[in-house]
Amino acid sequence: MNLATKDIRHNLGRFALTAVGIGMLLMVVMGMGGIYRGVVEDATLLIDNVGADLWIVQRDTRGPFAELSRVSSNLVYRAKAIPGVQTSREFVYHTIQRQRGGTPVRIAVLGLSCPTDRGEWIPLTAGRPLGQAHFEMIVDRTLGMPVGEQLTLGKETYTVVGITSNMISSGGDGLAFFTIADAQAIQFETPGEAVRLERAARESRGEDFELAIQQPMILDNAFRPSAQLPGVARPQVSAVVVTLLHGTDVESVAETISGWGDVSVFTATEQRELLLKGSVEKVRRQIGLFRVLLTVIAAIIMALILYTLTLDKIHSIALLKLIGAPNSVILGLILQQALILGFVGYGIAYLLGQQLFPKFPRRVILADSDLLQLAAIVLGISVLSSFLGIWKAMKVSPNEALS
C-alpha cells in the first residue's frame, strides 16, 4: 500500500493548490533562467545575423552597441581596398524613443546599405524586404506594427513593408531596418527652424570671413545642405562592417586596419565578448543573482510546506510507529510526497511557462540544458527540503498517537 498517494488523494484539493503554488514559484525560477538566456541571445543575435567578420569602429570606442561610435562613411572604400575583403558595408545603429498611439515606443534603428543589402538575410514572418531606397522599413514583431502601417519620423513618413521576429537590441528594444540614408536622416533629423537658424548663422559668420568679402557669391553656399558644402564632413556612420573572402586570415586583415589611426577594429567574436562583458553584463548578473535567490526561496518555501504537511500527519505517523511501522515506511511517505510535489510542481511550471512566456515583453528562452538543470535542482530541493519534515517525523514518539 502506498501511503504517500493515499494521503495525497485524501487531501487532494489542498495538495493540488500547494502544487500549483510551487509550480508558479518554479515557473518564475524557470522564467528567470529563460530571461537570462534571452538577454544573452538577444544581445548577440544582431551581431550573429549581420554576419560580419570584422567591425571597424571609431578609434578607442567599443562600437555602436556599447557607446556612441562615429566613423566617416568613406571608410567603406578604404576597407574595401584591403586585399581579402569581400564586402564592406556601412552600419548605422541608434535607438530612438517616440510616441505611437499615445504610448512610448522604443525603436532600435538599423541602416541597411541599400541597394546591395535590402535585408534579404532578415527572416521575415510577413511582407517583403525593402524595395526602394527610401521610406520603407522592416520592423520586429514586438514593435506591434502591421504591414502597411505608416510611421512619421522627423519630416518623413515610413511604411512597414516586412515583419521579422526575435530581432531585439541588447537593450530589449525591437529593431527597425531602414536604408542607410533613411537611418541617417532619422538620426540627424533637424527641424526646419533649426536648419534656417543654422544657415543664417553660417551666413553671418561668412560675412566676416575674408574670402567671402572678396567673393560675395561664396555666401550662397550657406543655404545649401551641409552635405554639399565644400570642406564639410559628410554624414557619418556608426561603424563599417566587413566580410572577408573565404580563406582570408582574419587576424592579418585586422592587423592592417588597426594600423589606421582613426579607427579600432574588432572581430565578430571580440564584438560578442564586448557586448556580453559590457552593456548586458550587469543585467545578466542581476538576473543570474535573482535566479539564485529565487531558487533558495523556492527551497525554503518547499521545506516549510513539506514540514507543515508532515506536521498535519504527525498523529498518523505516531500511530504508524505505534503499530510498528519501520522508519523506512515513514521516511518513504515523506520523501515520496516531496518528490511528487516537486515533480508535479515542475510540470505545472513548464506547462504554465509555455503559455505565459511568449507573452513576455522580452524573449524567454527555455534551453534544454537549463530545463534539465532546473529539474535536477528541483529534485535536490525536494530531497533536501523533506529533511526538516523527516527529522520531525523521526523525533515523534508513538506516545503522541494516544493524546
Partner 1 sequence: MTAAVSKPNNAIDAVGLTKIYGSGNTEVVAMRDATMHVSQGEVVALLGPSGSGKSTFLTSVGLINSPTCGQISIGGRLIQDGETAHVNLRSFRRQHIGFIFQKSNLIPFLSAVENIQIAMELNGESKRAARQRALTLMDYLGVADRADNLPSMLSGGQQQRVAVARAIANQPSVILADEPTAALDGHRGRQVMELFAKVAHEQGAGVIVVTHDHRALDVFDTIYEMEDGLLRQQSSHSLAAQSQAD
**Residues that bind partner 1 in the complex, under the rule CB under 8 A:** 1, 3, 6-7, 9-11, 313, 315-316, 319-326, 329, 398-399, 401-402
- Residue 204 CB: number of other CB atoms within 10 A? 12
Q: Is 309 helix (H, G, I), strand (E, B) or coil?
A: helix
- Cβ 342 to partner 1 shortest distance, Å: 20
- Cβ 331 to partner 1 shortest distance, Å: 13
CB 356, CB 35: distance < 8 Å: no
E strands, 66-206, in order:
71-72, 85-100, 103-112, 124-127, 136-140, 150-153, 156-164, 174-179
Q: Can you read off the three cell numbers belonging to residue 267? A: 572581430
Residue 90: phi, psi to the nearest 5?
-80, 150
Closer residue to partner 1, CB minimum distance, 292 or 402: 402
Closer residue to partner 1, CB minimum distance, 367 or 401: 401
- Cβ 302 to partner 1 shortest distance, Å: 21
Closer residue to partner 1, CB minimum distance, 82 or 314: 314
Q: Which residue has the cell 533558495?
A: 296
Closer residue to partner 1, CB minimum distance, 76 or 318: 318
Closer residue to partner 1, CB minimum distance, 45 or 334: 334
- Cβ 334 to partner 1 shortest distance, Å: 14
Contacts of 214 (CB under 8 A, 6+ apart): none
- The residue type found at 147 is V
Closer residue to partner 1, CB minimum distance, 369 or 403: 403
- Cβ 312 to partner 1 shortest distance, Å: 10
Q: Can you read off the three cell numbers belonging to residue 125? A: 514572418
CB 166, CB 143: distance < 8 Å: no
HSE of 129, CA atoms in CB hemisphere, 13 A: 14
Closest to 95 measured CA to CA, from 106, 85, 87: 106
- Cβ 12 to partner 1 shortest distance, Å: 11
- Cβ 22 to partner 1 shortest distance, Å: 20
Closer residue to partner 1, CB minimum distance, 218 or 329: 329
Label the pairing between strands 156-164 and 136-140.
parallel
